[in-house]
Structure 1
């Protein structure tokens, strides 16, 4: 018992007692060292964490700034794209408007406003020129009296704007048309014939006439298309008034042989490309001028419609024929085409016939009701043809050919 009690009393040996203060001292020393280490590292760690937070905040700010700049750039790009679309739309509308104005300017009624009829002052010496001037004034067509390169001439010029929006104050370009009319009296034409005959004979000096200025003008203006209008002048006034109701060809009034006239006409046509028309008076001259003026006004629109194909290669509606439906629609056009197949028959002439007689059966019935062959041949002669500067009739020649077409039983008969 005493041994056990003693063992219990000596729980800690001396060696352990000696070691205990050292252990405690070391423990305390380590604690103070840890405390010193902790106290020395804490400010730098806090600064590092503070720097990390600052950097993160700055990074976020920069990211937000980039996003804001990207958004602004996207808005600008979108605005530019919207502006480009608006500009493209404006350009399309502008081009469409200019094209519409260009097409409108080429219409005959609009194009006619830009044409000016130029009359040489020499023609005013003939009192019959008043008919032309009064007619142009009534039609409100632009005309002026001015010197021209060719005497006794009537020419045409048109005002061509540099741009579609050229105002009246701005300069515009004047273009000369290629059509020229030379109005001469019968006496002046006889003098021209004498000069031409002497030129054809050769070896002698040509007589002075209007043929010399005509040749000079043709040499300067190679592309000009000249037509000579031969009419009665002041020489015949008061002498041959019965000519006003005389339907004889005006060239028969020259008192020359037909062979001489034909020889001169062939020479002018082949060598000078000049056509000659014999007219009764200034009323026919006026009609001719009006016809040429209207033809010039239709030239631009017809040029746009022309197809550069060979003339003998039939294309379009003619090649395909006319479609006739079950209800009979299209038969009237077939009837018009049948008349139009005759030589020298225009659409307006064929339409005049088919309008008066809408079917071949009606025309045959009209032939049967006629009392004589002469009446049947001239049945269509007085039909009026619409279109053109001068109102005209079908005429006896076409009326006879249509009668042959409708009544002849000979397949070999030549209609023309």
Structure 2
């Protein structure tokens, strides 16, 4: 009997526990009900937040896309500009302005034929300096100061004959005898020298070169670059004119034999003028401290430190009169600036610190040499000086 009662008691208690387990608690059900309840305003706010986030993401994506397109457009424009400045393309935009007075000499046909063969643009005009050859080109978009969209180059050639040069010598002698002030232009004078003075006074930024054509044979006794003009009695007068033109007007005089040499000179000057814009463009890198011949970002350094030694070498090479071999002689012994600073600290005196690198051997060249005390002292000042305005040389 007691056993039966205990069994019944166990069964009853077990069922009660199950009923208690199956009955959900009021607190848990309340929490679930609270989590399920969301107002319409909260739902709309969440939807608006999601919509705003998507819109912001879309705007950022469009902004990045526009910046990428703008960068590509700038690169294309820069590439087109560089292409226009290349000599082989820039020379096509140049126009040779040939004064009509030069056509009176039959030898000018050599020049015109050569220009036509090279397909260079040229025109005959009757303005500016008589007997002159000058260069013009269309102005770029960045050159707003150009008149009528045309840029005049600063190089001007004045082609004269031997007789015209003699007239210039006599005109200068007459002015000297009259004690005329330098640069005074006489209104009654008809000499080419007076036209030259007047032109240089009005166009101060022009560089004029006078080409004197001689139809006589070269003198076999003297230097081949000089000609025998049979002006022994006027030799001093000729030298006086040349010195006067060079010193007071910055005008040089070249003596050439025939129109073929004049044509060669014109071609050489035209090619030199066409190369100047590209050289100026290459001479202005994005980073002014980068050395010539290196790419705009300098030396590439990997994450593992590869390339730091080359950066250290380039840093020393940026000093004046330091060749790559000299810089390599220093960095091969001291691969980093910190190692060199440690070596300086170990020296007992400032004099020994300054001469620490003097005896290093420079590899390369015709003969063996040392770094020297001068460069050793400059590198010491570079690494140890606390004065930012100190001149290293």
Same fold (TM over 0.5): yes
In structure 1, runs of 5+ residues without a counterpart are 1-55, 165-170, 336-416
Q: 1:282 to 1:255 in 2, by over 3 A?
A: farther
Decide whether the 8 Å contact of 1:154 with 1:182 is kept in 2: yes
Are residue 319 (structure 1) and residue 298 (structure 2) matched? no
Q: For 1:117-168, what per-residue CA distance to the aligned partner results, in whole angstroms no more than 9, with x for missing partners?
A: 110111111111111111111111111112231111000112123279xxxx
Q: 1:87 to 1:248 in 2, by over 3 A?
A: closer
1:283 alignment counterpart: 260
Residue 318 of structure 1 and its aligned partner are, at CA, apart by: 5.8
Residue 77 of structure 1 and its aligned partner are, at CA, apart by: 0.9
Are residue 268 (structure 1) and residue 241 (structure 2) matched? no
Of structures 1 and 2, the larger Rg is shown by 1
Are residue 94 (structure 1) and residue 73 (structure 2) matched? yes
Decide whether the 8 Å contact of 1:251 with 1:278 is kept in 2: no
2:161 alignment counterpart: 185
CA RMSD of aligned residues (A): 3.4
- Count residues in correspondence: 256
Q: Distance in 2 between matches of 1:142 and 1:129?
A: 16
1:181 counterpart SS class: strand
In structure 2, runs of 5+ residues without a counterpart are 1-35, 181-185, 290-316, 330-362, 367-393
Q: For 1:198-229, what per-residue CA distance to the aligned partner results, in whole angstroms no more than 9, with x for missing partners?
A: 11222587853111111111111001100011
Are residue 230 (structure 1) and residue 230 (structure 2) matched? no
TM-score (norm: length of structure 1): 0.55
Q: For 1:356-381, what per-residue CA distance to the aligned partner results, in whole angstroms no more than 9, with x for missing partners?
A: xxxxxxxxxxxxxxxxxxxxxxxxxx
Q: 1:316 to 1:128 in 2, by over 3 A?
A: farther
1:217 alignment counterpart: 199
Are residue 295 (structure 1) and residue 277 (structure 2) matched? no
Q: 1:316 to 1:153 in 2, by over 3 A?
A: farther
Decide whether the 8 Å contact of 2:167 with 2:191 is kept in 1: yes
Q: Distance in 2 between matches of 1:245 and 1:128?
A: 22
Are residue 156 (structure 1) and residue 135 (structure 2) matched? yes
1:75 alignment counterpart: 54
1:115 alignment counterpart: 94
Q: Distance in 2 between matches of 1:288 and 1:208?
A: 28
Equivalent residues in 2 for 1:2-401 (5 A)? 60-162=39-141, 173-202=149-178, 208-232=190-214, 243=217, 249-250=226-227, 252-254=229-231, 256-306=233-283, 319-320=322-323, 322=325, 334=365
Structure holding more helix per residue: 1
TM-score (norm: length of structure 2): 0.58
